[in-house]
A and B are shown apart, each in its own frame.
Chain A
């Protein structure tokens, strides 16, 4: 994928981040974590520094596609990837301003507004955190780690002897061919596999997964946890689909990965 252009953060963002100092040299923290997530992040040895965010409004155009040909729409893939990367990069820059070691609870959202037919806003929001003991948690690219894990999962991951490295993602916008008239008629009334469709979906998913794994390799991750595979047609209609794979790259920080045996319970409340 291409390099992401470095962009200055808006003046309002820098001002907010710099003004969050409170008398006594400490800093006011903000967080969209719930109370229990917030306490668990503290429990895990991190101090929340502030809510950080980044966004990018992107004009997602169309790319000519052939009715009967299944193929990746590489310009759209590129656009969807770059817009998310821009939002994430800006969020990471905000975290940098705060001197953070990482960002937990990252959410990636796509908003569509009425005023833009083919525009979409990509937003990344998370809570910047810093290790209490002063140790560095930055990843192989020298950036703060990012993770979409909840406060609970973050604590559990650390207790299991792993550390998050970064949110890794891969995307692929794919055009799945329409069936030819002859093909539709030939298959009428029979239960039969549509190998072209199967092949197209397989191919698109594999590409998205592969790109995500490549990102993890660049971060020198041992593995990826919490992978979600999302398929969405956004504004393109039913035959053009974005396949998005996203997860948190992790590395091992301890020799044994032993979690105390959990107490099995069944809640009676629902």
Chain B
């Protein structure tokens, strides 16, 4: 360590450091898309950045020769395959770099042509500063460094990103409706049940993944839904994504927040956009 390192932080010392040439090689290097503040938050809960890691997966499906009942399943399977390949790719990379996890992971799902779909993930791999004995499965999470810090201080740790997918396709209108017999201002129970069940199935698949990881729960669940594509407007896909968490041995740790009055904050609306 050069003697300059013991000086107090300040602009003079910082600029002085830039006047002497850098000697590469005698310190551990890292690459991260986080800010320095976020790196310090990680350091305070015992993690340091290692490198950028990424994963990618692509899958396609066959819209021909299938009946409408199986269409949804095939598309759902393609989504799950693409996501799964990206996730196992990034976890493999974590193993290779002897990292313990990846935080603030970017998770993108992009449709290409009608039946092609690509999933990509990218984030900063982190390593525990004091290596534990237990060789735990590395985790991947979309939680920001700040939320990761908070979660660990609150007595939990992330165990991985968990995903559930389901697709439902159904006839646009029932026979009665197309004849104009449907009652106005009444519930359409078939459609209600179809969408309701599909949503539940996506949640169930996600929960099963979390149970497979031995997690205690899942936080920041996002339930996305959208029509499958322009041709199949009568099919809706549901994707549930969340971060599975483990409760630590001591359980929930009190954070005891303090009330604060910010003088420039806007209230956010929570409903009915």
Contact = CB atoms under 8 A, between A and B. Distances in A.
A58 B186 contact: yes
A42 B269 CA distance: 23
A19 B201 contact: no
Contact of B261 (A39, A59, A82, A262): A262
- Looking at chain B's contact residues, the main secondary structure is mixed
9 contacts: A12-B196, A30-B242, A35-B151, A39-B151, A59-B187, A90-B196, A108-B272, A230-B271, A266-B262
Interface string B250-273: 001011111111111100011111
Contacts, number: 199
Size band of the interface chain A makes with B: 35 or more
Interface of B: 143, 147-148, 150-151, 154, 172-173, 182-188, 191-193, 195-197, 199-201, 203-204, 206-208, 210-211, 214-223, 225, 227, 233-234, 236, 242, 252, 254-265, 269-273
Contacts of A90: 196
A115 B257 CA distance: 48
A107 B263 CA distance: 27
Contacts of A71: none
B262 A13 contact: no
Contacts of A239: none
Contacts of B182: 59
A61 B222 CA distance: 32
A134 B233 CA distance: 47
Contacts of A34: 147, 219-220
Interface string A122-146: 0001000000000000000000000
A228 interface: yes
A31 interface: yes
Nearest to B235: A115
Interface of A: 10-13, 15-16, 19-20, 22, 26, 28-36, 38-40, 42-43, 48, 51, 53-62, 75-76, 78-79, 82-83, 86, 90, 105, 107-111, 113-116, 118-119, 121, 125, 148, 150, 155-156, 228, 230, 232, 244, 246, 259-267, 270
A270 B261 CA distance: 16
Contacts of A39: 150-151, 154, 252, 255
A59 to B, nearest CB: 6
B159 to A, nearest CB: 12
A246 B261 CA distance: 26
A155 B148 CA distance: 21
Nearest to B273: A109
A131 B272 CA distance: 28
B221 A148 contact: no
A35 to B, nearest CB: 4
B172 A115 contact: yes
B269 A228 contact: yes
A36 B259 contact: no
A151 to B, nearest CB: 11
Contacts of B260: 262-265
Given A61-B183, A114-B227, A115-B233, 20 more contacts: A12-B200, A19-B207, A22-B211, A26-B216, A28-B215, A29-B216, A30-B207, A33-B220, A34-B220, A38-B219, A39-B252, A42-B252, A57-B187, A57-B192, A59-B185, A109-B271, A260-B259, A263-B259, A264-B263, A267-B264
